Structure 1
Amino acid sequence: MMKCLRVMLSLVVILPLLSGCWDRQELNQLGIMLGLGVDRDGDMIKVSAQVVVPREVAKGQGTNATSVTQYQASARTLLEAIQKLTETSPRAIFMAHIRVLVFGEEFARKNGIYDVIEALLREPDVRPDYYVMVARKTTASNILNVLTPLENIPAEKLFNALDISAKSWAPTTTVTSDKLMQYILTPSMSPVITGVELVGNEEGSGETKNVESIKPPASLHFSGLSVFRKDKLIGWLDQDKSKGYNYIRDNVKSTIGPTQCPGGGYVTLKTLRTKTDHKVKMVRGEPQIHLKVNTISVIGSVDCEMEIGSMEAIKQLEELAQDRIVELMKGTVSLVRSKYKVDIFGFGQDIYHKHPKLYKREEKNWDKYFQNLDIKYEANVQIRRIGTLDNSFMKKAKE
């Protein structure tokens, strides 16, 4: 009797643990989507799914065909359109491994991106760590149709390239979907997303010849930062203004930039570390934002006749570099204030954390208040090394 009771109790404990595979999906029945594009199609949403072709990425099983394929469908809502992809795809679309989400420029301007971001965040199978970008002057479908060298999966190329670029090149930045949603929902914060542009022959971008030559007929380039008012695209920042934005937002990890020499030419500085501090001070009852950028740099190249082998010359270069960073930040704030009239820098949140009562008073009209906000800029550049050479040989070489 006791033995039967023990068996029954064991079954009661073990059986619930054996139900873990109730929602299993066989790998050979799934289409792994790595890139998702969203465009307008009249009043409907058009989705473009970049799906992996398993036999082409499996080692030793390729047939020299493309490693990915693209399926498209249009519907009233995003998830409906994704489900509709099964009309052409022989496999169910699996979204857990999305690497990039690309919005067409027209869609981002007219429809707004909130509904799409919310739908993907609500979907339990989708992880929110993919990068979001905007297709500049083209559609998301065209961006995801470009075959790329080095990386045989274009969506993986876009993800890795943006990740590396954001760490080593100041005009770009990475934004994940959860961070983007936070920006959209924050009352005094408008989103900024990196743009991607198709350069070259658009018609042949999806053909295998795009990866069969040293110089591909078509290529993908990151091109400026897109500015949003809430969830709708309203404009773009060029390279210098994008740099200024990233300095203000403390997004710059490392970069390379030219500093003009007093007598003409340039000295190229490589920034190793950068840190931007935001402080809020009250001056005559009004908030004042203090921005201070601290950078550690080294000299990369000298393309002028300036003698850099002295402390006086290094000090002069540091001051010139500081002026350049301040100029970039001022130029970006001035453009955004005059043209876009939205706070993309998070100044409202700086004031909220320091003086919440003042912020609450101005919250509803924050973009208007932002126009006259007092901002002070400061940069501190330290040049630690000048390389393995002291002065340039340019003067002797031209004699």
Structure 2
Amino acid sequence: MKRIAVFLCILNSLFLLTGCWDRKELSEIKVVAGMAIDKGENAKYKVTVEALNAAELNTQSAAGNSPTLVEGIEGDSVSEITHLFNEYYSQFLIFSHMKVLVISEEIANAGRLDFIDFLERNREIRDDFNIIIAKDGRAEDILKVTAQDRKASSLKLSPQMDHLLEDWGGDPGMSIINFISELNLEGKEPVLATVRLKGDVEKGMSMENITKVTPDAIVVVDSLAIFKDGRVIGFLSLEDSRNYLWTRNDLKTTSLTIECKKGDYSAIRVTESQTEVTSKMKNGKPSFHVSIKAEGFIEGTQCYKSVEELGTIAKYEKLINETFSKKITDTITNVQRQYQADIFGFGEVMRRQEFNSFMKVKDKWNEEFAKGDVKVDVNFVLRRSGIRSKSFLTETEK
């Protein structure tokens, strides 16, 4: 009996000490920070990856060489292409730390997004990377521009998008899981942030781009891409992108500019915001009501008004409410008339609130959305005026 017990203990230890069957040494791997998908010249796709040169990202070991190696391969399957990169690289590529996926406008316009199935299925690829559209150019060029911040384009883009969302709005922060969900969702069309290259692309690919006060080329956030039936059909401006986030209750903080006198403006910082949307059928036509409650403070003013004067706070609040109720309404009606695509998710709201009414029109919801009535109410509360109640500027007009 003792011999059997000893044998079982040894057998159990062997199983515990087998190690990792698929392990790879650090010297054998190279981390991929970004991937770009373009239309190939001789195949369906061209896949470009930005692989990190870890030594150059470390300030103690950097020798002035390129911080990344960017190469692309053409093929008909993104999955197969990702396993072919040892044509260029001497190490295995690891995609688990990928920060951005850049899709060219050409691919997005054509609706050729079937490669996303591979990205969703692959157990080695996480779902927390940013998906963006490269506007007015090739997606691979976005990865080739060197950046002063973190040196690699992908490592700069990821926090750039996140910080824009947190500080001002403009990026929907769409993960691959959310994007796939919205592609198949009844009553909601997906959107993605777009970027473009500003400056000289060729000069931006050199290491000299990092050393200049004003880089020869830089990647900037441009707009919001509107999808319909699985392909891009148009774009919204950056300001309209913020209005979109506001209707979706995804706006965290932002700064608003209002014209308080002709040619003079005040800046308002929004610190809290809550949006509620209701949608229902009225006389056979959808009706949408967007109610926004927000609060904030004055960041700066050109109107020289002391907030201590009776009625000044109320005037500011009234102006903010009127200005941005109209701007958000204009954004929604523009999408209705120009694109007939419910990116705001009003159909999703109606499905939850009036299920039977929505089910009658769900197969032609975008058409119903386009003819719907819209009402936006902004209720803004001005909590304070920064750390000053009076401006140093001389009041010129009462």
TM-score interval (norm. to shorter):
over 0.9
Q: Deviations over 1:87-110 (max 9, x none)?
A: 111112111110110111111112
Structure 1 397/229 Cα, relative in aligned 2: closer, same or farther at 3 Å?
same
CA–CA distance in structure 2, aligned partners of residues 344 and 65 of structure 1: 44
Partner of 1:220: 219
Q: TM-score, normalization: structure 1?
A: 0.94
Partner of 2:251: 252
Shift of 1:275: 1.3
Aligned length in residues: 396
Q: Deviations over 1:167-212 (max 9, x none)?
A: 1112232111111111111132111111111111111111111111
Partner of 1:333: 332
Shift of 1:397: 9.0
Question: Larger deviation: 346-355 or 59-68?
Answer: 59-68
CA–CA distance in structure 2, aligned partners of residues 20 and 230 of structure 1: 48
Q: Deviations over 1:320-339 (max 9, x none)?
A: 11112212211111111111
CA–CA distance in structure 2, aligned partners of residues 266 and 98 of structure 1: 42
Shift of 1:57: 2.3
Partner of 1:64: 64
**In 1, are the aligned partners of 2:57 and 2:150 still within 8 Å (CA)?**
no
Alignment of 1:197-236 (within 5 A): 197-236=196-235
Letter in 2 for 1:63: A
Letter in 1 for 2:99: R
CA–CA distance in structure 2, aligned partners of residues 311 and 283 of structure 1: 42
Shift of 1:396: 5.8
Structure 1 22/247 Cα, relative in aligned 2: closer, same or farther at 3 Å?
same
Letter in 2 for 1:304: C
Partner of 2:117: 118
CA–CA distance in structure 2, aligned partners of residues 105 and 282 of structure 1: 36
SS at match of 1:322: helix
Letter in 2 for 1:218: A
Question: Larger deviation: 326-335 or 155-164?
Answer: 326-335
**In 1, are the aligned partners of 2:286 and 2:368 still within 8 Å (CA)?**
no
Structure 1 285/338 Cα, relative in aligned 2: closer, same or farther at 3 Å?
closer
Letter in 2 for 1:85: F
CA–CA distance in structure 2, aligned partners of residues 365 and 283 of structure 1: 17
**In 1, are the aligned partners of 2:304 and 2:395 still within 8 Å (CA)?**
no
SS at match of 1:394: coil
SS at match of 2:179: helix
Structure 1 311/294 Cα, relative in aligned 2: closer, same or farther at 3 Å?
farther
Letter in 2 for 1:390: S
Instruction: Check if 1:363 corresponds to 2:357.
Output: no
Q: Deviations over 1:39-87 (max 9, x none)?
A: 1113421111000112212452221112111021010011112222221
SS at match of 1:319: helix
CA–CA distance in structure 2, aligned partners of residues 199 and 131 of structure 1: 20
Shift of 1:225: 0.6
Shift of 1:364: 0.7
**In 2, are the aligned partners of 1:243 and 1:328 still within 8 Å (CA)?**
no
Partner of 1:343: 342
SS at match of 1:166: helix
**In 2, are the aligned partners of 1:264 and 1:304 still within 8 Å (CA)?**
no
Partner of 1:388: 387
CA–CA distance in structure 2, aligned partners of residues 61 and 363 of structure 1: 59
CA–CA distance in structure 2, aligned partners of residues 119 and 314 of structure 1: 55
SS at match of 2:66: coil
Alignment of 1:242-391 (within 5 A): 242-281=241-280, 283=282, 287-391=286-390
Shift of 1:238: 0.9
RMSD: 1.9
Percent identity of the aligned residues? 24
Q: Deviations over 1:207-246 (max 9, x none)?
A: 1111111111111110111111132111110123212211
Partner of 1:54: 54
Alignment of 1:70-89 (within 5 A): 70-89=70-89
Q: Deviations over 1:267-295 (max 9, x none)?
A: 10011111111224564576533211111
Partner of 2:185: 186
**In 2, are the aligned partners of 1:112 and 1:233 still within 8 Å (CA)?**
no
Alignment of 1:14-33 (within 5 A): 14-33=13-32
Q: Deviations over 1:286-315 (max 9, x none)?
A: 653321111111100112244433241111
**In 1, are the aligned partners of 2:285 and 2:371 still within 8 Å (CA)?**
no
Q: Deviations over 1:343-372 (max 9, x none)?
A: 100111101111222222111111111112
CA–CA distance in structure 1, aligned partners of residues 84 and 39 of structure 2: 16
**In 2, are the aligned partners of 1:33 and 1:97 still within 8 Å (CA)?**
yes
**In 1, are the aligned partners of 2:285 and 2:368 still within 8 Å (CA)?**
no
SS at match of 2:326: helix
CA–CA distance in structure 1, aligned partners of residues 339 and 376 of structure 2: 21
- What stretches of structure 1 of length at least 5 have no aligned partner? none
CA–CA distance in structure 1, aligned partners of residues 345 and 14 of structure 2: 53
**In 2, are the aligned partners of 1:244 and 1:331 still within 8 Å (CA)?**
no
**In 2, are the aligned partners of 1:279 and 1:289 still within 8 Å (CA)?**
yes
**In 2, are the aligned partners of 1:257 and 1:270 still within 8 Å (CA)?**
yes
CA–CA distance in structure 1, aligned partners of residues 3 and 46 of structure 2: 61
- What stretches of structure 2 of length at least 5 have no aligned partner? none
Structure 1 296/97 Cα, relative in aligned 2: closer, same or farther at 3 Å?
same
